[in-house]
Chains A and B, each alone.
Chain A
Amino acid sequence: MHGDRWFRLGIGAVGVLLVALVAAIGVELVRESWLSIRAFGLGFWTSRDWDPVSGEFGALPFIWGTLYSSVLALLLATPVALGIAIFISELSPRWLREPLTFVTELLAAIPSIVYGLWGIFVLVPLVRQLEVHTPDWLRALPLFSGPPLGVGMLAAGLVLAVMIVPFTSAVAREVLKTVPAAQREGAYALGATRFEAIRAALFFARTGIIGAVMLGFGRALGETMAVTMVIGNNPQVSLSLFAPQYTMAAVIANEFTEATGDLYLHALIEIGLVLFIVTLIVNLASRLLIWSMNRPPARRRVRAAPAEAAA
């Protein structure tokens, strides 16, 4: 018994260390951004002036850029990711499943910096061509205004989309696996087409699917290198897909080692703090949704009953 207690204490200490690490990240970020938090308060997040030379620090352009690029990536990636997940888990012949899974995993394994390199030298010139050939009446819209630079929001959204597809599709595949076969068989027995049966399975798995999409969103929010290399790094709030903009992660990566003065550094770390909190919330929410799918079906049915009765 004695030995068992020491064993538990020993490996328990390692566990505590892991929990303490997460807490320490939060504490350290607050401590290292204190000057900025005190100096600017909430105004930090509503001001759009970022001028380190004159000591003005407003983070709105970075929040805007991060949200814009991530939502754009989400819109582009979600249909493709779900299509892949459905194809692999529901439609593909058995022998093709393994290779396809491997290929999507490979897409997830390619380092961010390689995506960035490809972005700079291959994707950005292609985007520039697209922008140059955009007809004038379209260019008049705020969504496509500005000179055709290549670098900018569109390039960032495209790179991010490619990067989050494998994450979303992997989780969506896992979620689809938890749908009982009876669900699909029931649909087929009622004369459903393939699409209708899969739609029924998707509906059954909806919470988990939303969780998978949110997990991809969380990835996009924190992605740094590839975005830094293609977004143009210009702190402005613009609706235009063609405009060079900036994200929270990118400004930290670019300006951290050049930050002169404590206030500048603290302002950058405050941006990191908010990035930390936002990704924490998004990941937490997505995990709760995915976990709720993995609960035993019997219990789920009981919990779902009142809602059905109400409906």
Chain B
Amino acid sequence: MRLDGRQLLSNLFVLACGLSILVALVPLVMILFFVIREGAQALNLAFFTQMPKPVGEAGGGMLNAFVGTLMLTGLAALMAVPIGILAGIYVSEYKGTTLATAVRFAADTLNGVPSIVIGIFVYGIAVLPFRQFSALAGGIALGIMMIPIIARTTEELLLLVPSAMREGALALGATRARAVFSVIVPSVLPGIMTAVLLALARVAGETAPLLFTAFNNRFFSTDPGQPIASVTVQVFTYAISPYADWHRQAWAGALVLVAFVFVCSLAARVVTARVQRRRGGVA
């Protein structure tokens, strides 16, 4: 076999590409390993059902933080799901118009805005006027981060709907609104739900936009007008503290976050694969 310089270079290149996969796998495996090993030590039922204990007392949980994150993401979804879906519908239904281009551009821009900057913005509009950190402000911050994800995915999904479906509905005398809401959107509903799920998973892991909107709260609260705890801010507070017990709790919180994100990503994959298979079957 003749192995000249060019062939050798080519083989080295292929090897380097394969190696880069391994290089990326190292941190992933390391993170998962430590999060599971350290997190599992403090993870028990009490972690989910009990309130934080004072410093020095072992045990306790993050009940308030879990309720807080649930509430913050709920508020965010309440705001972002309708706005995101409707904006996505506008961009796909009226594509080519100036406003549609502007909306798509705005969504892409919003997607690239650092989350800490969104935190400052929401501080200015929802914290400063009331002189009060609040769960509502935190929800707005996370909601602003969800909108572009949902809007862009909705748009992309709708563009894949065969035009015959729209034409069929219109030919039967449906109004445009009817065609969109009764025929076109339902046909991509699983995809939209996947997008919402992924957007939720992403904002549930956000810390920076909550630091000066929802702030934090050592106590149990479900009042949208008051500061509220969240798993991420709690993990941050514990991680930079000097207490070994709090470090363990931080790892446990991280384990829960990673598990949640993992389940969401997996669920999204399964739904997407199923939708694609169904599409393939029809064609």
Which residues does A use to contact B, with CB under 8 Å? 3-4, 6-8, 10-12, 14-19, 21-22, 24-25, 28-29, 31-32, 79-84, 86-87, 91, 100, 102-107, 109-118, 120-122, 162, 165-166, 169, 193-196, 198, 218, 221-225, 229, 249, 252-253, 256-257, 269, 272, 275-276, 279-280, 282-284, 287
Contact = CB atoms under 8 A, between A and B. Distances in A.
A283 to B, nearest CB: 4
Contacts, number: 257
A269 B265 CA distance: 35
A11 B17 contact: no
Interface stretch (B54-62, B104-112, B159-167): B104-112
A25 B113 contact: yes
Contacts of B103: 15-16, 18-19
Given A112-B205, A113-B257, A225-B208, A275 B121 contact: no
Contact of B106 (A22, A31, A81): A22
B109 A22 contact: yes
Contact of A272 (B117, B125, B144, B206): B117
Contact of A113 (B13, B94, B120, B254): B254
Contacts of B18: 87, 91
A275 B9 CA distance: 42
A102 B273 CA distance: 12
B177 A4 contact: yes
12 contacts: A8-B94, A87-B21, A111-B257, A113-B207, A114-B31, A169-B24, A195-B13, A218-B112, A224-B114, A229-B239, A229-B240, A249-B208
Interface string B90-129: 1101100001101100111110111111111101110010
A113 B232 contact: yes
A225 B258 contact: no
Given A117-B239, A256-B211, A80 B20 contact: yes
Interface in B20-58: 20-21, 23-25, 27-28, 30-31, 34-35, 38
A249 B115 CA distance: 9
A11 B99 CA distance: 11
Contact of B207 (A12, A82, A112, A284): A112
B241 to A, nearest CB: 11
B7 A193 contact: yes
A222 B115 contact: yes
Task: Among A6, A12, A15, A118, find the residue whose CB has the most chain B CB atoms closer than 10 A.
Answer: A15
Given A31-B124, A194-B14, 6 more contacts: A22-B110, A87-B21, A194-B10, A222-B114, A269-B120, A276-B113
Listed from nearest, the 9 A-B pairs whose CB atoms lie closest are A222-B114, A111-B205, A83-B20, A283-B112, A193-B10, A195-B10, A7-B177, A15-B103, A224-B208
Contacts of B23: 80, 83
B10 A14 contact: no
Interface residues of B, number: 88
A14 B262 contact: no
Contact of B30 (A7, A82, A122, A252): A122
Contacts of B239: 113, 116-117, 120-121, 229
A25 B107 CA distance: 13
B251 to A, nearest CB: 7
A211 B28 CA distance: 25
A132 to B, nearest CB: 20
Contact of B83 (A17, A32, A118): A17
B147 interface: yes
B124 A28 contact: yes
A114 B20 contact: no
B35 A222 contact: no
B114 A249 contact: yes
A18 B83 contact: yes
B261 interface: yes
B6 A196 contact: yes
B264 to A, nearest CB: 8
B120 A107 contact: no
Interface string B139-167: 00000100110010000000000000000
Nearest to B231: A113
B24 A165 contact: yes
A263 to B, nearest CB: 15
Nearest to A4: B176
Contacts of A82: 20
B114 A118 contact: no
A110 B24 contact: no
B201 interface: yes
Contacts of A224: 114-116, 207-208
Nearest to B238: A117
B6 A193 contact: yes
B113 A222 contact: yes
A291 to B, nearest CB: 10
B7 A283 contact: no
Contacts of A221: 114
Contacts of A16: 99, 103
B269 interface: yes
